[in-house]
Amino acid sequence: MPTQIYKTKDGKRVTGVTTIISGNLGWSKNALMYWAWNEGIEGRNYRDTSQKAADIGTIAHAMIEADLKGRKYDSSIIPADMLNKAENAYLAWLEWKDIVGFDLLGSELALVSEEYHYGGCLDIAAIKKVPCIVDLKTSGGVYGDHLIQIAAYGNLYNEHHPDAPIQGYYLLRLGKEDASFHYHYWPTLPEAWEAFKCLLTLHQLKSMINKQV
């Protein structure tokens, strides 16, 4: 997805959730370093591998967004190898959607917190008995930073909809290789939200410090 620009009502530009997490969360760095090292051992440029995986995920997200809005996705210019994997993820989405069922509140919702000064784009807000967030992943696993991310999205939604707050968090992982899906559910994520606030504070302090040097 292209980089989203977030601004408060008074025009001040603020940073997005994913940038705040990726730039300040250190506990996942060792795993990323090992993955990059292993890509080199296998003779691959980790940047190319990472970008291709990101592009496949972006295509899958676009397919799902088109489905949610009743549009046809134009795949005519997508390379076959990338399209096949994105379609696997899309088929997994269709299967999950049919099994679970929900009423859509909105998709690709770009929101800004006036209280905490950050922005984010929610994949899906829906109702399945209660208002919930559905976050889509095409990664190989589920990680702690994913929970921090959707907790931050939950706060964004709640700030804009205080009378109908989020009461459930779904993380849906879609298989690019085999069209499988795995989904995880949490009724609340208080620790993840506290972690995000710590990362947001660190991000803001780092920005202030960098201006002094």
Domains detected in the chain: 6-210 (3.40.1350.10)
Q: Residue 81 and residue 75: Cα distance in Å, rounded? A: 12
Q: Token digits for 78?
A: 């997508």
Residue type, 71: R
Q: What is the mean pLDDT of each successive set of 10 residues along the chain, which is 213 residues long?
A: 82 95 74 48 52 70 91 86 89 91 92 97 92 90 91 97 95 89 94 97 92 85
**Three-state DSSP state, 146:** helix
pLDDT of the residue at 39: 43
**How far is it between the farthest Cα atoms of the chain?**
55
Backbone angles phi, psi at 87, to 5 degrees: -65, -35
Q: What is the pLDDT of residue 188?
A: 96
The residue with tokens 């972690």 is 195
